[in-house]
Amino acid sequence: MSIFKARVKEFEDVLAGPQDAIDLNQLRKLAFNGVPDVQSFRALSWKLLLGYLGPRRSSWTTTLAQKRALYKQFIEELVLPPGHSSNGASVDGGDGDKVDSGGVGLQDHPLSEGPESAWNTFFNDNEFLLQIDKDVRRLCPDISFFQQPTDYPCEIVVHSKGEHGRRLHERVVPAVLSSANVERKGLGMTKINLITKRSVENYAAMEEGQEAHWEVVQRILFIYAKLNPGQGYVQGMNEIVGPIYYVMASDPDLSYRAHAEADCFFCFTALMSEIRDFFIKTLDDAEGGIKFMMARLSNMLKSKDLTIYELLRSQELHPQYYSFRWLTLLLSQEFPLPDVLRIWDSVFADEQRFDFLIKICCSMILIQREAILENDFASNVKLLQNYPPIDINVVIAHAGSLA
């Protein structure tokens, strides 16, 4: 039996064995070394490792049904324009006012500016929806996946029957956004070039009755921002949700793929609950904040290679110039998508979660030791902000060797 077939058999035994309870410790050990890109192994493993599904297989049917129904409710309440139900019907409110099944009366007019006005909220949403729209139209440009139509569009959204606003991209005009900065919740501004390095032509929207994968991702991020107003949407979240959605929407099991949007939303929410401090500036110095994470990486580099550490310090090449993006976005912009999926297998399987992420980042620097020693400041910035192509298994193996 080949090594690959043996690994597949190990995953089958853990994920599809006769026992009702999944051995999460065994799953972590297997996933840490990479999930085989066959069957539904990765999608199911991530759902378990992120806590979306519990270890007891007998609970999955109920959990999935409840979560997917809840997500449909989120779409109806948060995405559809005020005054419209999922079927577009309106009903008599009993006092002469026509209200829809959600209970919004016609007295709540689109021109109403009252703070309690559903329409006022609807229009205010466009401020962060504008940034989401811009970001998701450029998602993972090295592959065509996000520009392609999904086989499972959201029916209550794509069949608008001429009604404007059900499809989120219709609400905004991307050309309006000209700011060079993006606000992080809390204090101050963070330059975009520390967050995102990709810039390509925007993806186009689909015709009535269809929607592209990027439109689905846009809806996931919009709903997340609506449900988390204290945090809202911060640029870079699109790079976190993208790989998760890709995995769910590529599941060979069509019964699961049909619910990729809802399943992705809850997996993304679970992951964001662990890394949300990365995106909140007031928590930068907290134990889970990004400054604390960058300090851990810097300290590890100092202990592993004092020469490199001192050189970068003498060049005033501060960790935030490169590792801010590495850590905040879990390396999703430094490598091609298949490599990102492989990295995330290990990161999600790590019980300490981000200890191994820091080791990978440290290894990325150590592997480029010779080049860094020869380079000046500008060349090292370019090297670390645009990491050269490399076999990701080399990086992961090196990270695994760090104590």
pLDDT of residue 197: 47
The larger pLDDT score, comparing residue 25 to residue 162, is at 25
Residue 285 pLDDT > 70, yes or no? no
Q: Which residue has the tokens 């001429």?
A: 162
What residues contact 319, with CB distance under 8 A and at least 6 apart? Answer: 294, 295, 297, 298
In order of their start, the domains of the chain are: 60-81+115-176+205-274 (no CATH), 281-401 (1.10.472.80)
Would you state the structure tokens that stand for residue 209, as one six-digit string?
């009755």
How many angstroms separate the Cα of 310 from the Cα of each of 3, 278, 301? 42, 26, 10
Percent share of the chain, pLDDT over 90: 65
Map 268-282 to HEC letters.
HHHHHHHHHHHHEHH
What average pLDDT does this structure show over 141-156?
92
pLDDT of residue 287: 66
pTM, entire model: 0.86
- Residues 292/285, Cβ–Cβ less than 8 Å: yes
What average pLDDT does this structure show over 343-369?
96
**Amino acid letter for position 317:** L
pLDDT of residue 289: 82
Residue 111 pLDDT > 80, yes or no? no
The larger pLDDT score, comparing residue 351 to residue 82, is at 351
pLDDT of residue 169: 81
Residue 86 pLDDT > 90, yes or no? no
What average pLDDT does this structure show over 379-393?
97
The larger pLDDT score, comparing residue 197 to residue 263, is at 263
What residues contact 363, with CB distance under 8 A and at least 6 apart? Answer: 395, 398, 399, 402
Terminal Cα-to-Cα distance of the chain (whole angstroms): 33
Residue 388 pLDDT > 80, yes or no? yes
pLDDT in tens, 14-44: 998 788 899 999 999 999 999 999 999 999 9
Query: What's the rounded Cα separation, in Å, for the pair 275 and 377?
Result: 30
pLDDT of residue 105: 42
Q: In the predicted model, what is the mean pLDDT of the chain?
A: 84
Reported confidence tier of residue 286, pLDDT bands at 50, 70, 90: low
pLDDT of residue 162: 65
| Low-confidence winner among 100-109, 118-127, 301-310 (lowest mean pLDDT) | 100-109
Residue 123 pLDDT > 90, yes or no? no
What is the length of the chain? Answer: 403
Residue among 173, 176, 171, 178 nearest 157 (CA) = 171
The larger pLDDT score, comparing residue 299 to residue 276, is at 299
pLDDT of residue 391: 98
What residues contact 26, with CB distance under 8 A and at least 6 apart? Answer: 14
Give one word for 136, left, alpha or beta, with left for phi > 0 and alpha for psi -120 to 50. alpha
What average pLDDT does this structure show over 315-323?
94
Measure CA 136 to chain center.
11
| Low-confidence winner among 82-96, 251-265, 315-329 (lowest mean pLDDT) | 82-96
Residue 331 pLDDT > 90, yes or no? yes
